[in-house]
Amino acid sequence: MSFTVAIDGPAAAGKGTISKAVAARFGFAHLDTGLLYRAVGAKVLAGAAPVAAARALSPVDLERDALRTPAVAQAASEIAVNAEVRAALVAFQHEFACREGGAVLDGRDIGTVICPQADVKLFVTASPETRARRRFDEMVNKGMDVAYDSVLADVRERDARDQSRAASPLVAAEDAILLDTSDLTIEAAVAQAIAAVDAVYPDAG
């Protein structure tokens, strides 16, 4: 059977960590849809045309460490306003969502546009400062040379663009469960997400 968990929210809210933990707990597959947009953004930075790059995207394009840079994140949010780019990425996300055995997808428009019928919808958020601090720590741990202020500026700029675009803007689905992680440890946030899935997943044990 298929079972879909949609996890949306702004930049660096903890969607990735929560999604991976939910997927591991229930044996679901996980798709970080931000990687699709980052992969297209990286191709555009290398000179490709956005729509052509989105149509030609293949799974190996998602496996590059270089997708996790601030420059690629910005490029991703710039191409993500393009409705034709978004349309080119829909089929892959639908197929993933409907796979046998369950799937967790995280992104910006999963519960609203990609999987409005998802079995569980979570909207994960936190204050911009908290999110920037977490992203900054993550980057420093990876050995990247970044300043907190520029990470905060990047988070704010992408949030504003993601929320204001006409095509699939970042907004919580009406039936999403809101998970504000500002004052939660990651363990507590994960526990709440797992409890939300547990409440409706038929095979939970």
43 is a contact residue toward ligand CDP (CB under 6 A): no
Count of chain residues binding ligand CDP (CB under 6 A)? 15
Q: Binder to ligand CDP among 21, 23, 76, 103 (CB under 6 A)?
A: 76
162 is a contact residue toward ligand CDP (CB under 6 A): yes
Window of 103-111, 117-125, 184-192, 194-202 that interacts with ligand CDP by CB under 6 A: 103-111
23 is a contact residue toward ligand CDP (CB under 6 A): no
Could you tell me where the DSSP H helices lie in 58-146? 70-79, 83-88, 90-97, 128-141
- Write down the least CB distance from residue 171 to ligand CDP, Å: 12
Region 123-152 residues binding ligand CDP, contact defined as CB under 6 A: none
The answer to whether the CB of 8 falls within 8 A of the CB of 112 is yes
Integer Cα distance of 152 and 136 in angstroms: 8
**CA-to-CA dists, residue 23 to 19, 20, 180, angstroms:** 6, 5, 20
Residue (25 or 70) nearer to ligand CDP, CB: 70
Q: Binder to ligand CDP among 30, 38, 43, 134 (CB under 6 A)?
A: 38
Among 96, 88, 104, 79, residue whose Cα is nearest residue 19: 104
Among 63, 54, 105, residue whose Cα is nearest residue 84: 54
107 is a contact residue toward ligand CDP (CB under 6 A): yes
| Number of other residues whose CB lies within 10 A of the CB of residue 193 | 27
The answer to whether the CB of 6 falls within 8 A of the CB of 173 is yes
Q: Binder to ligand CDP among 44, 80, 132, 176 (CB under 6 A)?
A: 80
| Structure tokens belonging to residue 90 | 């829909």
Given the rule CB under 6 A, which residues bind ligand CDP? Answer: 11-12, 33-34, 37-38, 73, 76-77, 80, 107-109, 158, 162
